[in-house]
């Protein structure tokens, strides 16, 4: 049975994970600057690029989700009591879109992981190409980090969607 506590649980978990994602993104950007401006070898300069790009994405996404989670939680708890049709009309379609997006993200992240691994294997034994080795290693690690975070978010969203679907079906037949 879907309850307000399920809504609270989903959005609190989303908010917690987004804070972790924000912190990881900030650490990645900090490492990027340290690698590029202080360590300055080709390996570290190569690694700095994916750390900066993914770190920026992680920080922006983490911050955005963190900031909006409370409003979404409050609005959906309110809708549960006052306007259950809003959950069916707005929240369920939103979550289905989120779920579809996770599939696209997963494939992009998998391609990036394999691209990074390919760069590592192509250039690990060639000291003249250490830039590409560093880029590949950081790319694979960052893409894997995002894949892991999205996996947990997707699993949580899947449970939430099933609860929403059951609630809207039950609400339709009894209302």
| Residue range 81-92, pLDDT digits in tens | 999 999 999 999
Cβ atoms of residues 74 and 4 within 8 Å: no
If 0-12 CB within 10 Å is exposed, 13-18 middle and 19+ buried, where does residue 119 land?
buried
pLDDT score, position 171: 79
Model confidence at 65: pLDDT above 90: yes
pLDDT score, position 170: 84
pLDDT score, position 172: 66
Total-model pTM = 0.92
The mean pLDDT of the chain is 96
């Amino acid at each position: 049975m879907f309850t307000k506590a399920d809504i609270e649980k989903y959005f609190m978990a989303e908010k917690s994970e987004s804070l972790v994602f924000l912190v990881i993104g900030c650490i990645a950007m900090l490492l990027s600057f340290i690698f590029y401006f202080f360590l300055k070898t080709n390996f570290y300069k190569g690694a700095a690029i994916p750390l900066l790009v993914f770190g920026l994405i992680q920080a922006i996404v983490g911050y955005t989700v963190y900031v909006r989670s409370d409003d979404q939680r409050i609005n959906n708890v309110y809708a549960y009591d006052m306007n259950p049709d809003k959950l069916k009309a707005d929240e369920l379609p939103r979550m289905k879109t989120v779920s579809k997006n996770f599939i696209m993200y997963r494939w992009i992240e998998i391609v990036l992981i394999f691209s990074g691994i390919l760069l590592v294997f192509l250039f690990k034994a060639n000291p003249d190409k250490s830039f590409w080795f560093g880029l590949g290693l950081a790319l694979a690690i960052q893409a894997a980090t995002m894949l892991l975070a999205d996996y947990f978010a997707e699993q949580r969203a899947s449970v939430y969607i099933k609860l929403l679907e059951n609630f809207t079906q039950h609400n339709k037949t009894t209302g």
